Amino acid sequence: MRPSVVITGGNRGIGLATAEEFARLGHSVVLVARNPAAAGEAARLGAGLVTADLSTLRGIRSAAGELAAVCPRPDVLIHNAGIWPAARRLTEDGFEESFAVNHLAPFLLNHLLQDRLSRVVQVTAGLYVKGRADPGRTPTGADFSPVRTYADTKLCNLALLPLWAARWRERGVTIDAVHPGVIRTGLGDRGGPVGVLLKVAKLLWKAPAEGATAVLGVAMDRAGTGRYFDVDRELPLEPVAADAVLARRLWAQAAELTGVA
């Protein structure tokens, strides 16, 4: 039986490039994407597709249910889906959209699928060091910033990495996080003059295939758990993400917000 990998946000950017690499290596690949048009990419790769909106609790639970049927025991689950919004938008559950996608979706999927998992990789961002997660304000975007909120939500997610590693250690499930580098994708695209400048700057950034190489490397490395990688270098979490008190508070809050408490 071919090893299997599930990739959220797998229809474009780093997610798609990572899916292409796993398919090339002979893995069975399942993409999780919001846009039904991802069926074209899935067909090209010979991959499975789960269509789900990971910005809503309803969509996350739907994705978990479909994955249980399509890929009962993935060898690797890669949380790649992420957004960087230019404006504050609330989901149907009342959460700021990037908080839901970048933080709550991986948290809830981990809970719903944990009895089926073997290896989990969280694609994160080095910008987490600029984050200032406020459990009282960040979930609803009361502290929204077009620049900093992305870092805030990535910090929320990354701070839970040691807790997941400890929770799963006796089960033999491993989890690591990787910042794949500054990659040329559609993440954070804007309109207007700022958007034009960003597009020009992105011409100098690395191609998605290079980001995929970093993700693939971490996914295939099962020598440890709870590790953070900057591309291919293992680094300790910066103090802002290594705050155990904040991590426990964020965990309890996420459990309450997603209904897994």
Annotated catalytic residues are: 150
For the sheet containing 48-51, what is the strand order?
A: 48-51, 28-33, 4-8, 76-79, 119-123, 174-179, 227-230, 233-235
Cβ contact 75:4 at 8 Å: yes
Residue 36 to residue 50: CA distance in whole angstroms: 9
What are the percentages of helix, strand and coil residues in the chain, rounded to 5?
50, 15, 35
| Max CA pair span of the chain | 52
Pure H helices in 71-181 = 97-99, 105-113, 148-159, 161-168
Angle at 79 between CA 179 and CA 4, to 5 degrees: 115
What pairing do the DSSP bridges indicate for beta strands 227-230 and 233-235?
antiparallel
The candidate with the shortest Cα–Cα distance to 158, out of 75, 230, 50, is: 230
Q: Which token pair is 120?
A: 């989990």
